[in-house]
Amino acid sequence: MVHMGKYTDLLASSTSFARLLDDIHQFEQQQSIELHQQQSIISSTCSDDDEILILSKTAETKQKGIVKRHVYTAYIKAGFGLIMGLFIVIILSSMREATSIFSNWWLAKWSDDESYRYRILDNCTSLQNNNKNNNNTIWSMSNAEWNNHRNQQFYIYCGTVVLVGMLNPWSFIPAVISLIGLLYVRYCFAPCFRDLRRLESITRSPVYSYLTSTIHGLKVIRSYHAEHMCSTEFFSHLDDNTRANYLIYITGRWAALRFDWVALIFIALVTILSMTLRVTGHRYFSTADIAMTLSYSLSLMGLLQWTIRLSVDLETRMTSVERVLEYCSLEQEPPAQVPLNRRPPSTWPSHGRIVFDNVSMSHSSDNQSLLALRHISMTIEAGEKVGIVGRTGAGKSSLIQTLFRMGTLVNGQIKIDNIDIALIGLDDVRRHLSIIPQDPVLFTGTMRSNLDPFNEYSDVEIWRALEQVQLKTLVADGMSNGIHSIVSEGGSNLSVGQKQLVCLARAILKMSKILVIDEATANVDNVTDELIQRAIREKFKECTVLTIAHRLRTVIDSDRILVLGNGELLEFDSPKILLSNPNSHFASLVEQAGVAEAEHLRTLANMKSTKDNHNLDQELLLDSKETDPLLT
């Protein structure tokens, strides 16, 4: 051992260790030079192809940008030359595209030309049927107390059956079995689907009607904070309709799955039968025949399914036609017009005298239905003011409906100025009577069309009628176009009182000899009530007025009071005479109003009687002066 220690110490202190490191470094360099020389010798012995490959790899570059024009030119020159090549390419490409476009155009034109004729026939037939049914429906409701594709599919069906029968007559056996299965599925599916569709139609109507009525009454709903209640009820109707729709979808999926099962069984039977016949050698079937049999069997089964589905869909959709025809067959009212020789004079009624002779009325023509009025006999003189009172269900509205011929007259007759209203047309009766209903009815249109729907009066007369009910300022200043201003649906841009005054102005404009007031002031304030009563007293002084009222104060100044109960005439006399009998029904109604109100009603009745007596004395005095000249 010459030296020992750390590497750095040996390198600094020992010259022999440094010399040893230099020898090792020179040896490594010599080995590297020899290895490089050996690699050069090996590379010089490589083939030319390998050398070319190595050189190409070292010289490979990438072009940038679009393909240069000379590339296309060189490619075309390699074919037919530059000019000829371009010409041939353009001609061939143009011919190819023109042929493709022409074939598609001809196919579209040919098919569309045929379907165009069929669509015309189909649409004309459907339009004619729908037009006739819709007109009949609208007419009946107003007066109430599908062709080429089927033929084409039929011919396809027949052709498929014939072809399958020629290829494999034995396939008719599974076809019959499958047809029976399809018919059984239809037998189970069609009634449920049809009734569910009817149920969906029935549950759809409440959704629309409730939504419409809610929109119209939105102010009232919000004022009473009834949003949650109305939303709950609306969602209840919507849930009922959604359930029906969901069941329709589920039932359709159920039937589709069963149809697919039957089709699968049919194809399996046809396949097994065809293979069995070929294996047993009973009849030779080529592979093409078997494939064609299976192909057209699939088509046949698809047509059978389509036919079954179409029959169910047709039956289901015909429920709508059934409903339309049901409305078309509703029992009709009597004719609106009668022959000229049976029509009343144009001035009828000239007085307004009404006679009920043993009148019995029912709301239905069914003989088993209950009578709303029973044996009503009375006479209302011309110009008389009659108040009609009674409890709920007493027959007050039924009496008015009978006057307008809106019910079924079971017995008796009604005469107005000695003319039986049952012998004349409905238009002649209803056009010559005026009514102010409890719920005022306004239609979408202008103010003028609501006051004069038949355009019979001038603008001056209409403005005069509005002035008499104190609506002239509202219409002239509050509306942009005066009497030509738009009245929204149901008159929603007017208050209840204003709508009632519009109905009163309509009656004033018409000035019929008979006016019916059906609790017109039940939903208005006291000021509007007083305005209506004053206008009636002043403008209809010479007319016969029939007033239905729950507030006895409204009718206490009538000439006579008609008391009804359970459809029967209980009492018919002046207010004072009826109140003088403490056992009368009218006196009982007055007492139920309270002590103070009853006393006030009695006072008004006495004042009415005194006023009538005074007027009678004045009339007698005038008559006596006319007959005896000495009194003058």
Instruction: List the single range of 17-21, 218-222, 325-329 with lowest mean pLDDT.
Output: 17-21
- DSSP 8-state code for residue 345: P
pLDDT of residue 440: 83
pLDDT of residue 41: 44
CATH of region 152-328, choose from 1.10.3470.10, 3.40.50.1000, 3.10.129.10, 1.20.1560.10: 1.20.1560.10
pLDDT (average), residues 436-452: 86
- DSSP 8-state code for residue 332: B
pLDDT (average), residues 521-529: 71
What is the chain's Cα-based Rg? 50
pLDDT of residue 179: 77
pLDDT (average), residues 383-401: 88
CA-wise closest residue to 359 among 349, 371, 348: 371
Distance CA 589, CA 598 (A): 9
pLDDT (average), residues 178-184: 81
pLDDT (average), residues 153-182: 65
Domain residue extents for the chain: 70-133, 152-328, 594-632
DSSP 3-state assignment of 518? strand
Q: Is the distance from CB of 567 to CB of 560 less than 8 angstroms?
A: no
pLDDT of residue 276: 77
What are 304-363's pLDDT values in tens digits? 777 777 777 777 777 676 667 777 777 778 888 888 888 888 888 888 899 999 999 888
pLDDT at 417 over 50: yes
pLDDT at 216 over 70: yes
pLDDT of residue 247: 92
What are 454-507's pLDDT values in tens digits? 888 898 999 998 888 888 888 888 888 888 888 887 777 888 888 888 888 888
Q: Is the distance from CB of 502 to CB of 471 less than 8 angstroms?
A: yes
pLDDT (average), residues 224-240: 91
The H-or-E segment that residue 354 falls in is strand 354-362
pLDDT (average), residues 422-427: 89
pLDDT-above-90 percentage for the chain: 9
Q: Is the distance from CB of 514 to CB of 546 less than 8 angstroms?
A: yes
What are 263-280's pLDDT values in tens digits? 788 778 877 877 777 777
Distance CA 626, CA 599 (A): 41
- DSSP 8-state code for residue 469: T
Q: Is the distance from CB of 156 to CB of 162 less than 8 angstroms?
A: no
pLDDT (average), residues 11-23: 67
- DSSP 8-state code for residue 331: P
Mean pLDDT of the chain: 76
pLDDT of residue 165: 59
* Phi, psi at 63, each rounded to 5°: -75, 155
CA 312, 316, 318, 322 dihedral sign is positive
CA 42, 43, 46, 50 dihedral sign is positive
pLDDT of residue 193: 84
pLDDT at 57 over 70: no
pLDDT of residue 241: 92
Q: How does residue 624 score in pLDDT terms, banded at 50, 70 and 90?
A: low
pLDDT (average), residues 22-44: 55
Q: Is the distance from CB of 416 to CB of 613 less than 8 angstroms?
A: no
pTM (2 decimals)? 0.59
What are 140-158's pLDDT values in tens digits? 555 554 344 444 444 454 5
- Give 559 or 287, the one with higher predicted confidence: 559
pLDDT of residue 618: 59
Q: Is the distance from CB of 190 to CB of 313 less than 8 angstroms?
A: no
Q: How does residue 34 score in pLDDT terms, banded at 50, 70 and 90?
A: low
Instruction: List the single range of 120-134, 408-422, 550-564 with lowest mean pLDDT.
Output: 120-134
pLDDT of residue 115: 58
Count the Cβ atoms, other than its own, within 10 Å of residue 262: 22
Distance CA 505, CA 467 (A): 9
pLDDT of residue 101: 59
Q: How does residue 55 score in pLDDT terms, banded at 50, 70 and 90?
A: very low
Please name the residues in contact with 468: beta carbons below 8 A apart, sequence gap of 6 or more. 505, 508, 535, 539
pLDDT of residue 503: 87
If you search the block for the tokens 């390419």, which residue do you land on? Answer: 89
Q: How does residue 184 score in pLDDT terms, banded at 50, 70 and 90?
A: confident
pLDDT at 63 over 50: no
Q: How does residue 562 score in pLDDT terms, banded at 50, 70 and 90?
A: very high
DSSP 3-state assignment of 545? strand
pLDDT-above-70 percentage for the chain: 66
pLDDT (average), residues 511-526: 79
What are 580-598's pLDDT values in tens digits? 888 888 888 888 888 888 8
What are 104-132's pLDDT values in tens digits? 556 555 555 555 566 666 667 666 666 66
Side-chain half-sphere of 419: how many Cα atoms within 13 Å?
Answer: 19
pLDDT of residue 26: 67
Q: How does residue 207 score in pLDDT terms, banded at 50, 70 and 90?
A: very high
pLDDT at 528 over 60: yes
pLDDT of residue 85: 62
Distance CA 471, CA 440 (A): 15
Q: How does residue 201 score in pLDDT terms, banded at 50, 70 and 90?
A: confident
Burial 465-481 (b: 16+ CB within 10 A, else e): bbebbebbebbeeebee
Amino acid residing at 585: H
pLDDT (average), residues 367-393: 86
pLDDT of residue 613: 64
